Structures are given as structure tokens and as C-alpha cells.
Amino acid sequence: MNKLVEIGEAIKRSNRVLLCGHVIPDGDCLGSVLALGLTLERLGKKVIMGGPDPIPEIYHFLPGLDRFIVGEPPEYEYDTFIVLDCSIPERLGQGYQEFLNKDLVLINIDHHEGSQPFGDYQYTDPKAAAVGEIILDLLDVMKVQITIEAAVNLYTAIITDTGSFRYENTTPGTHRRVALLLEMGVPATDINIHLYEEKPVAALKILGAALDTLTASTCGKVCWMTITREILHKAGALDEHTEGLVNYARSIKGVEVGLLFHEISKDLYKISFRSKNSVDVNKLAAPFGGGGHTRAAGCVLQGDLKIIQEQIITAATLAAGGSNH
Amino acid sequence: MNKLVEIGEAIKRSNRVLLCGHVIPDGDCLGSVLALGLTLERLGKKVIMGGPDPIPEIYHFLPGLDRFIVGEPPEYEYDTFIVLDCSIPERLGQGYQEFLNKDLVLINIDHHEGSQPFGDYQYTDPKAAAVGEIILDLLDVMKVQITIEAAVNLYTAIITDTGSFRYENTTPGTHRRVALLLEMGVPATDINIHLYEEKPVAALKILGAALDTLTASTCGKVCWMTITREILHKAGALDEHTEGLVNYARSIKGVEVGLLFHEISKDLYKISFRSKNSVDVNKLAAPFGGGGHTRAAGCVLQGDLKIIQEQIITAATLAAGGSNH
């Protein structure tokens, strides 16, 4: 916690802050950036919050999001650069990476296992379920009052990165922190509706179409779904609507590895890997030029679908201890 | 809490206990019965745990479930009858209801709004997200050590009745109690896999088939899916595999009422209602001879599908403040 006190002091000394998360922003990075940014503004600091990529629609309800700048970071005389939820500098995106070389106090807060060390002040806690947890602790050691807007952002950060407390990163401390946030008046039901019950019809149509392609290996340990451009167009869906579909392939009894083959352009396939108990899909995806985490990874391959599926499914079946025959 | 102390004392005086939940058992009723039953056995009491209806497969992992008797309660010289999660005597099922008239100390613990008062000792807390929460508090006031088996059952009770902490019944106290359970060593990831990632293929096939029938009203406030006997058979699914499907109809942006028309036998339809924000589906289902809760209700109608759908969808659209035209 001492390192967090040090970071709190450094932040208190800042006046003109550039604050960002990572490319392809998720709930934890957005919620953490907004919670910290809004709080620093209340402390009278000039704060620019932003990131290179557009905000997925489900996060549009987040308080303060209208202040979030998408694209290149505005040129300005900052004194401090705060980076959240970003394991390697490359995940900042090109425009923000350039600020790493400027004469700024660099503060880096993350929770990824094996996060690269960079920054004048670095705080990485792989046991934190979300960076949102760390920001809550940081505001606590800074003795700053947490507004309801910040609390809503932190609640969102935590529930999205824990899969509503289902993932193995969820700790007793996660639940205790959420209890505090609810006591501050966070409207949890509304937030859950925003995140999980405002889907476009097309997202359900593409789910239905993907489930129609569901196939299991002979051994039952690998299960996959396929979305071609044709299937996508027929469902009236966009690529972003396929987010999370791979989890359905893993959710079957006896399945250890779930796969989604998603044609992102003609003969170019994004393959998503998810595992349940034993297979390290980070290692499984590596020979195919991909990677990620132990339970979630991905790769992109060009070529004929049948050949790609044959290769990946064979490798997945072997890794799962199953047999193709 | 004083009433809970009183109940704890009454339970401590018991020796031969009959313990049950309600018909069509769910995670809260099973988890609560098993947690309390296993604990009372450890205190040296003779305990019979049971209920009239079969246990859904997803709960087969619950510790102590092999001790749970399905069907008629065994005849025996009990001195105490403990009823959990049962809002009205009818929900005990016929066999267990008969024990209400016997000369037994009757203890009734529930959390339903408007629960009927019955029993020598009655404890109803509508603010408790699950009866599992009350049992945890009860064991605490009884100063009984909670074993890991009991903790697993209580965790299951709480996560199933709160929809993984997404429903509006989730309180700060819910999260604090779960923090305690995790600290006792509850293997949360394994339990979540048992509950949500061991689906039969047929459950996903019927989800896909149901999504193929997804239709929205002109106003977009009502959305429904239809499962006929033919669709069910074609997917190789059983009626129990349709559990929870109705939530997909509600999960769409702008939808206030989600409906599932499920043909349970020729021309006999079970209609499930779910609402998001404003419609009381308990009231909506009432003119059709059904009922339930504000956000979840159901009814059963005999007749022609088209006519039934016309009636229900018109009523739902009106209730949602939409228009058919």
C-alpha cells in the first residue's frame, strides 16, 4: 500500500494531467479512467481523458464519458501522464505512446500478470480483479471523497472485468469493495441493464446463427462455431456483435476448449479460444501467431476455412487430452 | 435479529428434524436446506432433508445432495419441521403439507414479499436476497462453525437467487456475506462452471432455435420467442432446457417486456413474462390466470397459438405504453 501512497502524493502534486487506458477500451479501462479523471477535476486539476479507439455502445451511459476524447491526444502542456490498465506500451496506441518520451511525470497502474515495467511510478497488482479496485484503494489512501459518478464508473470497471464476479480473479476484497460502492448509492440494477440488457436485435440474431453452426469434436472436449461474412450479413449484424459469442462454445458440459472462427474479411479468420479448467490457450494460440491469457486467447489466420479449422481443432483436441478418432 | 436468536434456540432444542424447501427446487432452496441440514447433523441431530420434485442436473454437484430425498417425506417420529424459502403452504407439495398438521415444532424461514404467515416460529425478511443469506446469519447467531460443505451450498443459494449479483435484490450485505464465504475457501470458479458452463448441447441448440423465432412488436417495447413441440424435438431438447430463455427476449435495447411462448403439450402453451423497468408482469399475467413477481411471471393457456399470441402481445404492448399500430 506504501507505493500507492507515493502515487497518491505524485498525483496530488500534478496540475495538468493526461489520462488514458488501452486500445479497444473495455469497462475496466474506461471506468477507471473516468473515475480517476472526474475526481482529479474536482480537486481543481486540468484533466484530459482519452484513448485512441471508439467507445463500444454499451459503455455510453458511463458518467463523464462526454468528456472522453477519442483519437489523437490533444497537444497541451501537461505535467503528468497517467496510464491505466495497460500491460505494455504498445497497448497505448501510437498517439499516446509518443507521450512516453516527453518530459512528464509518468504514472502507470495495472493489474496484468507479467505487465512490463515502465513509468516513474509503477503500481502493478496481479491479484487485483480490476484496475477499478486499485483506483478505489488509491482514492481511499488519497483521502478524497468518492462521488457517485466515480462510484458508478468503478462498479462498472469491477463487474465487467470479473464477468459479474464469476471469473477466478474475484476475491473477498472484490466483494467488500463492491459493498462499499453500493452503499454510496450506485444504481446497480440500472447499470446491469445498460451493460447486459440493451443489446441490438442483430446481436441476438448472430448468436442464433452462430449456435446453428455449433459442432463438437468426437471426444466432446472441443466445441466450435463459425461465422462467415455471409452468415453475418444474413443476420444483419456487425463484427462487434460477435463479442463474447465464443463463451457459448465453452459453456457445454465436457467441453474444455471453446472456439469461434470469425471471418473478418474474405478468407481472413479471427479465431477466439476459451478454456475451462486445464488448457493454457495462450500456449495453444502461440504456434498460430496468437496469444492472450491462460483462459482466453486469439489469433488471425489467412486461408481456406476447412484447412484452418482442421489445424486448430486438431491442436485444441490434443491440448485437451482428447482424440480425433 | 432477536427473532433469529429465538429460532436458533428452537433449532438447538430439536432432535429429529424434517427439513424441506419448495416444489420445483432452485439453487436457493436446495443450498439453504443442505447447508442447514448438514450443519444440524454435525450437531448430532437426526435430519431428513428432502422435497417432492427432482433435482435439476446443474445442482447435482452440491455437497450432501446424495442425502436429499426426492418424493414423499419418509414417515418417522420427527419433533421439528423446518420449512425454507416457501411463501405459501401449497408450495411445499402435498406430502410435506401433511406434516403441517402434525404435532411438530414448525419453523418457517423465508424471504418472499407478502409471504403467508405460518409456523410456530416464522422469520421472513423480504430484504434478504436469498434464504441462504438468512441461514448464514442464523448459523452465526447460533455460534455454529460453518463447514466448507455448508459454505458451498450457501454461496450457490446466493448467486443463483441474485442472478450472479445482477438482480435488484443484491445489497451491500449480500456482497459482504459472499466475501466471508470466499474466505472460508469456497471454490467459486468451480461452482460457476458447474452452474453455468456444463450445459447440454441441446440447451444451446434450443436457444439457437428460439432466437430464430425472435420477433419485436412495432413499437419495439415487446419482444417474444416461440418454441413449439416440433422446434423442441428438432433441437433434440427437453422442456427443462428452455429454462431462462425468456431473458434473451427481454435483453434487447428498448424492450420492456420479454415473452416466451412454449408449447408444453399439443395446443397447451406456457407463457413466461419478464419486464425490465416499469411493467408489473404479475398484474399483466393475472387476467390470464397466471401470476408471479413484478419482473417475472407466467401463465398457461390452451388454444390456438396465433390467438393466444395476439391476446398476450396486445396486453403486454398496452402495459408497456406502446402501440400495436
Q: Does B215 touch chain A if contact means CB atoms closer than 8 Å? A: no
pLDDT digits 0-9 by tens, B93-142: 999 999 999 999 999 999 998 888 899 999 999 999 999 999 999 999 99
CB contact under 8 A, B208 and A192: no
Q: How far is B10 from chain A (nearest CA, A)?
A: 32
pLDDT digits 0-9 by tens, A32-61: 999 999 999 999 999 999 999 999 888 999
Nearest CB to B175 within list A182, A200, A216: A182
Predicted local distance difference test score (pLDDT) of residue A324 = 58
Q: Which helix (DSSP H) or strand (DSSP E) does residue B269 occupy?
A: strand B268-275
Q: What value does the mean pLDDT take over residues B239-260?
A: 94
> How do beta strands A121-124 and A215-216 pair?
unpaired
Burial level of A294, CB count in 10 A (0-12/13-18/19+)? middle
Residues A201 and A238 sit within 8 Å (Cβ to Cβ):
no
Residues A41 and A66 sit within 8 Å (Cβ to Cβ):
no
Q: Which helix (DSSP H) or strand (DSSP E) does residue A18 occupy?
A: strand A16-20
Could you give the dihedral angle defined by the CA atoms of residues B176, B181, B185 and B187, in that order, rounded to the nearest 10 degrees?
-100
Gap between the Cα atoms of B102 and B70, Å rounded: 21
Predicted local distance difference test score (pLDDT) of residue B2 = 83
Q: Which residues of B touch A251 (CB under 8 A)?
A: 196-199, 204
The band of A117, judged by pLDDT with boundaries at 50, 70 and 90, is confident
Percent of residues, chain A, with pLDDT higher than 90: 90
Q: What stretches of chain A show up as alpha helix (H) in DSSP? A: 2-13, 27-42, 94-97, 131-141, 148-161, 172-183, 188-196, 201-212, 229-234, 246-250, 281-285, 305-319
- Substitution target from A59, A154, A181, A189 for chain B, most B beta carbons within 10 A: A189
- How many C-beta atoms lie closer than 10 Å to residue A18's C-beta? 24
pLDDT digits 0-9 by tens, A70-105: 999 999 999 999 999 998 999 999 999 999 999 999
Gap between the Cα atoms of B248 and A241, Å rounded: 15
Gap between the Cα atoms of B105 and B82, Å rounded: 8
Domains and CATH numbers, chain A: 2-196 (3.90.1640.10), 201-319 (3.10.310.30)
CB contact under 8 A, A164 and B164: yes
Specify the 3-state DSSP secondary structure of B16. strand
Residue A10, C-beta contacts closer than 8 angstroms, at least 6 positions apart: A80, A105, A107, A120, A121
Q: Which residues of B touch A162 (CB under 8 A)?
A: none
Q: Does A240 touch chain B if contact means CB atoms closer than 8 Å? A: no
The band of A294, judged by pLDDT with boundaries at 50, 70 and 90, is confident
Gap between the Cα atoms of A119 and A89, Å rounded: 10
- Sign of the alpha-carbon torsion through A155, A158, A160, A164: negative
Q: Which residues of B touch A205 (CB under 8 A)?
A: 211, 214
Angle, to 10 degrees, between the axis of helix A131-141 and the axis of helix A2-13? Answer: 70
Q: Does A302 touch chain B if contact means CB atoms closer than 8 Å? A: no
Q: Which residues of A touch B180 (CB under 8 A)?
A: 172
Q: Which three cell numbers stand for residue B157?
A: 443459494
pLDDT digits 0-9 by tens, B145-173: 999 999 999 999 999 999 999 998 999 99
Please identify among residues 161-180 of chain A the ones whose CB lies closer than 8 Å to any CB of chain B: 164-168, 170-173, 175-176, 178-180
Nearest CB to A165 within list B164, B176, B208: B164
Percent of residues, chain B, with pLDDT higher than 70: 99
Residues A238 and A202 sit within 8 Å (Cβ to Cβ):
yes
More confident call, A295 vs A181: A181
CB contact under 8 A, B182 and A188: no
ipTM of predicted assembly, 2 dp: 0.92
Q: Which residues of A touch B212 (CB under 8 A)?
A: 208, 212
According to the 3-state scheme, what is the secondary structure of A274-309? EECCCCCHHHHHHHHCCEECCCEEEEEEECCHHHHH
Residues A257 and A284 sit within 8 Å (Cβ to Cβ):
yes
pLDDT digits 0-9 by tens, B60-97: 999 999 999 999 999 999 999 999 999 999 999 999 99
Predicted local distance difference test score (pLDDT) of residue B293 = 82
Q: What value does the mean pLDDT take over residues B240-257?
A: 94
- Alpha carbon separation from B108 to A56, B1, B69, B142, B258 (Å, rounded): 48, 15, 20, 17, 34
Q: Does A192 touch chain B if contact means CB atoms closer than 8 Å? A: yes
Of B182, B128, B124, give the one whose Cα is nearest residue B155.
B182
The pLDDT of residue A139 is above 70 = yes
Task: Please list the residues that pair with B108 across neighbouring strands.
Answer: B83, B122
Please identify among residues 258-287 of chain B the ones whose CB lies closer than 8 Å to any CB of chain A: 276-277
Residues A117 and A6 sit within 8 Å (Cβ to Cβ):
no
Predicted local distance difference test score (pLDDT) of residue B292 = 81
